[in-house]
Each structure stands twice: as C-alpha cells, then as structure tokens.
Chain A
C-alpha cells in the first residue's frame, strides 16, 4: 500500500487541553478515507495540520511526501470545517476567485458542478441557504485536479436534500479521477458507502483504523463500530 499521508506520534495542545495525543495515521493513496469520531476528538485539528494551518507540538507528519506547508497546498484541495463563503460574492464571482487563486482549478468543471448542484451564476452568497453555500464550496473544491482532496465536515448542519446532492456529486467525482480523498464526518449513515478506509479517532488518538471492507467483515457496519467505540 502506498501511503499519501503519514503521521506518527502527533501531539497538539491548546492550553491545558490536548487535541491530539500521540496520534498515528496512515492514509492510503488513491483511496477514500473517512476520519470518524465525536466532537472534540481532534479530527479538525489534524485536518488543519495537513494544510499547515496548525503545527504539531511534536511528532512527524508528511503529506504527499512533504511536510505540510503553504507550498504543498498547491496540491491539496481543502474544504475547511464550519467554513462560509465570502459575503458579497455571487456563484460567478466565487468561481472566478477559484480560477484566479487556486492552482489546477478547472473553471469548466466548476460551472458543470455548480449546474448539477443547482447553483445559478447570479445567486448571491448573502441570499444562499446553508445547503446552497455548502454546495458552492464543495463545487470549488471538486473543480481542482489535485492529488489530495480534504473535506472537513462537508455535511455539517445542512438539509437532507443538499446532503444527497453533495454525496451524488462526490460519487460522480470519485468515479472519474484518481485522487486521495480524506473526509471527516459525523454523517456515517449516508456516506458509509463512499469509504474505502476508515480511521476512528478518540481523545486525540487512533482508536481503530483499517480497510472498510475488512472492518465490516470483522466487526459489522461502520455505524455499529462507531456506537461500540463512542457509545
């Protein structure tokens, strides 16, 4: 197995609180990996580390063979946790923003994705529902042809129909390109079928990791495993 992301003994503290506590992870290349765990498990801290936004206090981390840095972000498409889009933009301006600032951004693909996600060019972010905004941000991420896609809670706080549209867009995207994908989510029921690999995080450590197929054969569905670990 070729590894796209490798972390060993990563720790990160915010004051007295330890977000990551000797976290180990290996994310296989060209697989769709789920990072699962309850709130406060350290998932988003780890996701931010991948793009160099947060530095580990100790431990080692390599992303696509390099240490996280702004330079490495050229090869990473990242959907931040709890993100919103810039107020005052329309869908058209957001796509222009992506085309001008994000390397390997495919404008045609962004328009295609926006269309399939029900977003019109003149739709303003200020008038968007949370679901529409989430779809816009996902379209911007999926329109980049980069080796690594990181989605931090792409379904958080949005309605069922938007979630379904996003999952459909993800399935379409994953079926047409070779890309390593990392998704952090709570919505296991709707997304379980997407994953090849899963990492369960608990109290800043890896509680369980492996191929979804193997985990299912040994321990039941992802939801069952989730309940057993965190329930």
Chain B
C-alpha cells in the first residue's frame, strides 16, 4: 500500500460518517439550541462570582469515552453496513487497514476537542465582555484549556485502540473477553477524573488539572500510555487476522 492509497483510505474512513452527520439539519439545530442556552445562562448568571466557564470544561471528562466509541463504530460499521467482505478482501495488511481507521478516528477526536475548547473559549470571552471583567485572566483560562487538550490528545490513542479491540473481539471467537474490555473502557476513560480528583473549583481548592499541579509529571507517563495503546492496537490486528468469526 503506497502513501496515496493509505491517505485515501483515511479520507474514506473520515468522510463516511462525518459528512453524513454534519449534513443532518437537526444536528445543527441542537448545537445552535445548546449555544443559545449557554450564552443566555452566562449573560444572566455569569460574572466573577457566578457561573464560570471552567465548569464547561467538566464536559470534556466525557470525551475519552466518546473517542473510544468513535473508533469502535468505525470498525463495527463494517459488520452493520455489510461491507466487511470488501474491507477484509482489500489487498493490504490488516494492520494498515486498522491503522487507517485509527488515524481517521484520531483526526476526528482532535477536531472535536479543538472545536469543544474553542467553543468554551468563546463562551468565556462572551462572559468577560458582558460582565466587563477585563481580559486579565483570559490567558490563564486558555492555558488551562490547552492542558486539557494536550492530555486528551495523549490519551486518545489508548482509548481508540481499545475501541478497535473491543469491536474486533466482539465479532471473534474471543467474544467472552468483551465484558472485561468494557470494564477497561470504564476505567481508562475516567483519566481526567483521576487527574482532577476532588476538584472544588468554586472555592479554589482544586488540585490536578484545575489546580495546575498535575501537568509536571503527567508527561512522563506519555511513553507508557502510548506503549499500552500500541499493544492494544496490535491485539486488535491479531484478532482481525486470526480470530474473526465470519
């Protein structure tokens, strides 16, 4: 498989669901409704001591789970869409076929994360403008967002490799392992919770990400996290090679 073919396969994986999803008008209606509610809430209850934009960052705790499910769906789709035969009979190694799914899922995850944090930054800007708080603390807020984004980017490969592995195992002779993998999904996906611990943002007693104490050592764990991601991915490839029940 040359680079052009691999890039095409990634684009194919990216386009199939993303285009369909964003083409739905009701999808945008919901997004617009949520945005309106947020801006109204910030205008009414915002301000220095009121509703803080930091609270919105808590929604990102769910993103690792979402990213895992994106990868899971990318592989599961081959069964539900009855396209498995086309996909598996392609004259390319299973590792490349799955890597294309992983790369597409990762691209989507990064895109969603960037949109999420950009959206929260806009809400914070609105809050500062409406309540005339000045932009002194905006830099700190953006830095906090970047911490969240970096940690999400670091842990996304592990969640998405796990998503591929769960999808492959659930369609294989190793299916009895599926509940164990879903438990792992629950444990791994809570990484942002673990990092923040008992965050009490309102009273400034937070630690972890909100307190800014975690970022020093978390990066040391990056190689380990990515090694585990590589092992999970290798597991998914192996299951697709040897254990699928067709």
Hey, which bits of chain A sit against chain B, CB under 8 A? 14, 48, 51-55, 70-74, 76, 78, 80-88, 97, 100-103, 152
Q: A14-B245, A73-B89 are in contact. Are A101 and B8 (CB under 8 A)?
A: yes
Besides the contacts A73-B89, A74-B91, A102-B91, what 5 more A-B pairs have beta carbons closer than 8 Å? A70-B94, A71-B91, A87-B20, A97-B12, A103-B91
B86 touches A88 (CB 8 A): no
Secondary structure at the A interface, as helix, strand, loop or mixed, is loop
For window 80-102 of chain B, which residues contact chain A by CB distance below 8 Å? 81-86, 88-94
Chain A positions within 8 Å of B244 at CB level: 53
For B85, give its contact among A74, A78, A102 (CB under 8 Å). A78
**Which chain A residue lies CB-closest to B88?**
A53
**Which chain B residue lies CB-closest to A79?**
B85
A188 to B4, CA, bound (A): 42
**Which chain B residue lies CB-closest to A137?**
B86
- Nearest-neighbour CB distance to chain A for B210, whole angstroms, equals 40
Chain A positions within 8 Å of B16 at CB level: 86-88
For window 3-20 of chain B, which residues contact chain A by CB distance below 8 Å? 4-5, 8-9, 12, 15-17, 19-20
Q: A53-B88, A53-B89 are in contact. Are A84 and B81 (CB under 8 A)?
A: yes
Q: CB-CB contacts of B223-246 with A at 8 A, as 1s and 0s?
A: 000000000000000000010111
Interface size class of B (residues with CB under 8 A): 20 to 34
B8 touches A100 (CB 8 A): yes
A102 to B84, CA, bound (A): 15
Chain B positions within 8 Å of A78 at CB level: 85, 89
For B84, give its contact among A55, A80, A103 (CB under 8 Å). A80
A101 touches B9 (CB 8 A): yes
**Which chain B residue lies CB-closest to A71?**
B91
Chain B positions within 8 Å of A73 at CB level: 89-91
Q: A88-B16, A100-B5 are in contact. Are A83 and B83 (CB under 8 A)?
A: yes
A28 to B125, CA, bound (A): 73
A52 to B20, CA, bound (A): 32
Chain A positions within 8 Å of B81 at CB level: 84, 86-87
**Which chain B residue lies CB-closest to A98?**
B86
A81 to B86, CA, bound (A): 10
A80 to B89, CA, bound (A): 9
B8 touches A88 (CB 8 A): no
Which of B4, B19, B91 has the most A CB atoms < 10 Å from its CB? Answer: B91
A85 touches B83 (CB 8 A): yes
Which of A70, A74, A82 has the most B CB atoms < 10 Å from its CB? Answer: A70
- Nearest-neighbour CB distance to chain A for B238, whole angstroms, equals 13
A73 to B97, CA, bound (A): 14
**Which chain A residue lies CB-closest to B97?**
A70
A100 to B9, CA, bound (A): 9
A82 to B86, CA, bound (A): 11
- Nearest-neighbour CB distance to chain A for B48, whole angstroms, equals 47
- Nearest-neighbour CB distance to chain B for A195, whole angstroms, equals 23
Chain A positions within 8 Å of B4 at CB level: 100
A55 touches B242 (CB 8 A): yes
7 cross-chain pairs, A with B, having the tightest CB-CB distances, nearest first: A80-B85, A73-B91, A84-B82, A74-B91, A51-B89, A100-B8, A78-B89
Chain B positions within 8 Å of A152 at CB level: 85
Q: A88-B19, A97-B12 are in contact. Are A53 and B91 (CB under 8 A)?
A: no
Chain B positions within 8 Å of A76 at CB level: 89
Chain A positions within 8 Å of B242 at CB level: 55
A81 to B246, CA, bound (A): 11
A54 to B245, CA, bound (A): 8
A180 to B38, CA, bound (A): 64
A152 to B89, CA, bound (A): 13
B92 touches A70 (CB 8 A): yes
B94 touches A83 (CB 8 A): no
Chain A positions within 8 Å of B90 at CB level: 70, 73, 101-102
**Which chain A residue lies CB-closest to B18?**
A88
- Nearest-neighbour CB distance to chain A for B185, whole angstroms, equals 26
